[in-house]
Structure formats: structure tokens, C-alpha cells
Amino acid sequence: MPQLHGLILTGGRSRRMGQDKALMRLASKTLLESTHELLQECLKSIYVSIKEDQIGDPIRSKFKQIIDEYSQSGPIAGILSAHKTHPHSAWLVVACDMPNLDKQTLAQLIKERDSTFDATAFNNPKDSLPEPLCAIYEPHLLSEVLDNSKLLPSNSPRDLLLQSRVKFIKTKNPSALENTNYPADYLSEIES
């Protein structure tokens, strides 16, 4: 079974939120710091996906970084750049904006991983579609995408999962997969 690395996606522009989500605070830590700490409980090797103009950011620079190298926009650029860095490894990919993500959810994903599939992903509790931003992508899938761009008709990792062989699992904690895209989402998270 290929080695598993963690990848925290932080290269987004946070347009809907209006501020950098990775640097927003929950209690005494940023969302990025909290997510990294959580992944450290489950994995030995964790990277932070960034855009080139984020290299000097003082929070992101605390961690091992992978700079997005591909022209695709959105999370897929980070995922493919991570694969290029370690082409024989699988990637447990998480978004930096999942404030309710917990160790049990990550442990469930890792335990139920099946590397004979292209990916292992939760069914999103809201729409039953694959949750691409808390999923494990196997190296053979990512190699195929880099070899044949037609396998990626859009820049959406969800679309990639929808056309791939995915082992779907049901989360034991649906709120763990909720993300923070708008200011109201974030305020409700820090108030609860």
C-alpha cells in the first residue's frame, strides 16, 4: 500500500469569506494551525498547499509547503502539485476551513482506506456526493490525470471523484465535514 501523506489546502483566495480562511482564528490558533495539529495525530508527514505569493506568510511558513505548480485553479492544483512532489504516495487531502474536523473522522478515513480504488471518500451528508476535501487520493489516479488531461474535464476534485472508482464511506460525525465559506458560517462556528 502506498505511503500516505497529509495535504492541507490553503491556496484559495477566500473570495466568499472576504478574508484568508487559513489565518482565521478559532480560540488561540488559526484554522491552519488547528488542522495541522489534528493531522499530526494521525500522520507523520504533512504538507501545506500554497500559491506562490503565499510563500512568505508567517503562519504558512511554519510548515512544510508545496507550491501550486499547475494552471488549474482551485484545490486540484494543490492536489496535483503534491502528487508531482511525491508521485508514489497517496494523499489525505483536507481543506483548511473545516473547523469541526476531528481525529475520529480522520482515523475512520485512514482505517477504511482501500488503495485498490482510485480514492477513498466520505459521502457528503448534505447531498450524498463525494466529499473531495476530506478524502484520500491514490497515486495511480493522480498519475493518470497528469498523463491525460481529458480525465479532468473541470478543475473540480468532486467531478474527478464522480468519474473515478471511489470507495465511499459514511461519516460517523457529519458535522466534521462542514466547511466555512461565508462570514456567517464562521461566526456560527466560534459562537457554538
Question: What pLDDT sits at residue 187?
Answer: 40
CATH code for the domain of 127:
3.90.550.10
Q: What is the pLDDT of residue 12?
A: 57
Residue 50: inside a domain: yes
Residue 192 covered by a domain: no
Residues 141-158: b if buried by 16+ CB within 10 A, e if exposed? bbeebeeeeeebeeeebb
Asked if residue 186 is part of any domain, the answer here is: no
Confidence of residue 185 (pLDDT cuts 50, 70, 90): very low
Residue 66 pLDDT exceeds 60: yes
Using a pLDDT cut of 90, give the percent of the chain over it. 61
Q: For residue 178, is it within any domain?
A: no
**Is pLDDT above 60 for 169?**
yes
pLDDT (0 to 100) of residue 71: 62
Is the pTM here over 0.85, yes or no?
yes
Average model confidence (pLDDT) for the chain? 87
Predicted confidence (pLDDT) at residue 75 exceeds the cutoff of 80:
yes
| Cα–Cα distance measured from residue 78 to residue 47, given in angstroms and rounded to the nearest whole number | 10
State the total domains in the chain.
1
- Residue 179 covered by a domain: no
Residue 188 covered by a domain: no
Residue ranges in 41-156 assigned as alpha helix (H): 75-85, 103-111, 139-147
| HSE of 156, CA atoms in CB hemisphere, 13 A | 11
Mean pLDDT computed over 35-58: 93
Q: What is the pLDDT of residues 117-133, one digit of tens each?
A: 999 999 988 888 999 99
d(CA 151, CA 159): 10
pLDDT over threshold 60, residue 48: yes
- Other C-beta atoms within 10 Å of 26: how many? 15
Tell me, yes or no, whether 122 lies in a domain: yes
Write out the residue range of the structural domain in which residue 54 sits. 4-170
Please state whether 14 falls in left (phi above 0), alpha (psi between -120 and 50) or beta: left
Residue 27 placed within a domain: yes
23-41 pLDDT, tens digit each: 777 778 888 999 999 999 9
Residues 87, 92, 98, CA angle at the centre, nearest 5°?
140
Q: What is the pLDDT of residue 72?
A: 63
Confidence of residue 154 (pLDDT cuts 50, 70, 90): confident
